[in-house]
Amino acid sequence: MTIIRLGFNVSQRSPILAGAYQCRSSITCATDSGHYFSRILKKWNRGGSRTPRRVLLGLGVSFWAQLMSMAGSSSTVGGKSFIAFARQKGVVEEVLKNVQWPEQFPFKEEDFQRFDETPDSLFYEQPRFVTHIDDPAIAALTKYYLKVFPPSNMPGVSMLDMCSSWVSHFPAGYKQDRIVGMGMNEEELKRNPVLTEYVVQDLNVNPKLPFADNSFDIITNVVSVDYLTKPLDVFKEMCRVLKPGGLAITSFSNRCFFTKAISIWTSTGDADHVLIVGSYFHYAGGFEPPQAVDISPNPGRSDPMYIVYSRKLSTA
């Protein structure tokens, strides 16, 4: 079985694809996920720990979807479509329960390669005043934020929206003394009404966050974690700049700028993505065990939306 690796040559030949917004469903994304993860799982097992059933369940979603789409079958199991199965609320929430992580970070350098390895500053040179998920998914995210964010205008609260743009999807009228946006396009960040300041920085070139230790109560990252090629460095930095007990919230759907997303993301499905982001928190260290929430508003009818979150340990 060939593992899909997105290489340099192809990327440079296909700059037009860079604007495409693909990766729409577990099935189209999960080109080789089952086999990829079965390798990882084998490795985990070799390490002596039995893979928990629940992890297999989560990974099984993309594995079976991939297997069936490759076989050209009608993609059904027990009369249920695999997409419907993957989108059953709660399936991805199981993925991070009782994970027995391998001792070492299980991903390799090639897992973080992209189809388009040209500088990200080129790709993000022009502003995109668009939204990257549909309205129901945005509404679900905003509703989730309303539930977990500190009340608006709370003295002393500082927030950081990483991989930000002209929108942060915060609740309407939400304010804090300090809300920093970090992103790649200054025009977009300038227009973001919720930000009190912004920083343009390519995290794939410089993952060091330009903030003091223990600065932020909340860090958000919306539909962008899949573009990070040095995620462990970035997550370590997130831990450093969070206040003890501070909350980091990553959210993602099943869409991406395919050519700019890392290969381990484009070759796997939704449940795998939860595990991948969970692993970033786990191996960065200093965080509580990460948890997943499925906030998909209308499973199967609008964009799915997943949250993987964790708090900085109070002792870190």
Q: Of 227 and 258, which has the nearer Cβ to ligand SAM?
A: 227
Closest contact distance (angstroms) between CB of 81 and ligand SAM is: 28
Nearest CA-CA partner of 294 in 283, 315, 280, 308: 308
CB of 80 to ligand SAM, least distance (A): 31
165 is a site residue for ligand SAM (CB under 6 A): yes
CB of 98 to ligand SAM, least distance (A): 31
Regarding 254 and contact with ligand SAM (CB under 6 A), the answer is no
Positions 227 through 246 that interact with ligand SAM (CB under 6 A): 227
Among 164, 266, 268, 302, binds ligand SAM (CB under 6 A): 164
Footprint on residues 48-67 left by ligand SAM (CB under 6 A)? none
Among 163, 194, 238, 308, binds ligand SAM (CB under 6 A): 163
* Angstrom distance (rounded) from CA 292 to CA 91: 10
SS3 222: strand
- Binding part of the chain for ligand SAM, among 43-51, 86-94, 170-178, 218-226 by CB under 6 A, reads 218-226
| 183 near ligand SAM (CB under 6 A) | yes
With tokens 């084998």, the residue in question is: 42
CB 193 within 8 A of CB 129: no
Nearer to ligand SAM, 37 or 306 (CB): 306
- The CA dihedral of 20, 265, 137, 177, to the nearest 10 degrees, is -100
Are 280 and 231 within 8 A, CB to CB? yes
Q: Report the chain's terminal Cα–Cα distance, integer Å.
A: 42
H or E element at residue 219: strand 216-222
Using CB under 6 A, pick the residue from 159, 184, 274, 292 that binds ligand SAM.
184
Please report, for the chain, how many H helices and E strands are present, in that order.
11, 11
Per CB under 6 A, does 167 bind ligand SAM? yes
Per CB under 6 A, does 114 bind ligand SAM?
no
The contact mask relative to ligand SAM for 132-161 (x = CB under 6 A, - = no) is: x-----------------------------
Give the nearest distance from C-beta 306 to ligand SAM in angstroms: 14
What does DSSP assign to residue 34? H
Kindly tell me which of 74 and 109 has the beta carbon lying closer to ligand SAM. 109
Judged by DSSP in three states, 161 sits in strand
List the one residue from 75, 204, 267, 296 that touches ligand SAM (CB under 6 A). Answer: 204
Sheet bearing 158-162, strands edge to edge:
197-200, 178-183, 158-162, 216-222, 242-252, 306-311, 291-294
Give the C-alpha separation, 247 to 235, whole Å: 12
Residues that bind ligand SAM (CB under 6 A): 120, 124, 132, 163-165, 167, 183-185, 202-204, 222-224, 227
